[in-house]
Amino acid sequence: MTQSIEQLSATRSHGGWVKRFSHRSQVLDCDMTFGIFLPPQAETGPVPVLWWLSGLTCNDENFMQKAGAQKMAARLGMAIVCPDTSPRGTDLPGEHDSYDFGSGAGFYLNARQEPWNKHYHMYDYVADELPALVREHFPISAREAISGHSMGGHGALVCALKQPGRYASVSAFSPVVNPMDCPWGEKAFSRYLGDDRAEWSDWDACELVLAGASKQAMLIDQGENDQFLEEQLKPDHLEKACHIQGVSLKLRRHEGYDHSYFFVASFIDDHLEYHARHLFADHA
């Protein structure tokens, strides 16, 4: 049975289309929006897709409007789908009180604690429900890759590590790699998941690597002038975990760059080309 979607906007871009849709999410029990870039090649057949997960305070529009990814994606023949970052319109107690928890801060996990466990199942949404919906309505092939920024970088890494072999490639910009050991993660995990830190490890990239969840290679770009680098992001923790487990990690550090979308836009073409090499590898 086809699930219904409603088109909110459509804008021509580099021969393709940037479109925005709303739909009712059964997993999140609320109405959601998502953005999609369809390259010109999608008019003649299925194309591979890059899932992009955005960070704290963002929604489905930030990447589409700020990253400047459409030109390269159009040249490569790659669709890009941008989910929202958290459930919307639920108005739970305290949901809108802070930027790093609740609205815009779903952390791409499945909440276990009340009242969050009724709606905050962002992992199931981005890993299962939304992909199924997108493939019902758009010419998207089975080939997929995943990437994200900050909290979304955390989500991308976790999605790939928890599903070995699913994504052709994974990358991230300024990801929260060890949320169990940073203020953002500790706040979110304690409220969404409860006090049992053993359950937190299922949603922590460093812990998943150390547990041998996957050997998939990772590409990460990190700005050296990122204001969150030392307290929240801690890429050296993932570097150490990957070294211990023999996982290939390409961690590129960039002098002078911060946490903003100016940083993402500066290197997004590199990431798109990286993913294209994996997405189209079987067709070379």
The residues assigned a catalytic role are 150, 226, 259
φ, ψ of residue 181 to 5 degrees: the values are -125, 40
Residue 65, helix vs strand vs coil: helix
- Cβ atoms within 10 Å, residue 44: 9
Determine the Cα–Cα distance for residues 180 and 276; give it in Å rounded to an integer: 32
Amino acid at 26: Q
Euclidean distance between CA atoms 101 and 97, whole angstroms: 8
Distance (Å, whole) CA 89 – CA 160: 29
Q: Are 33 and 163 spatial neighbours (Cβ–Cβ below 8 Å)?
A: no
Dihedral angle, C-alpha 134, 138, 139, 145, nearest 10 °:
-30
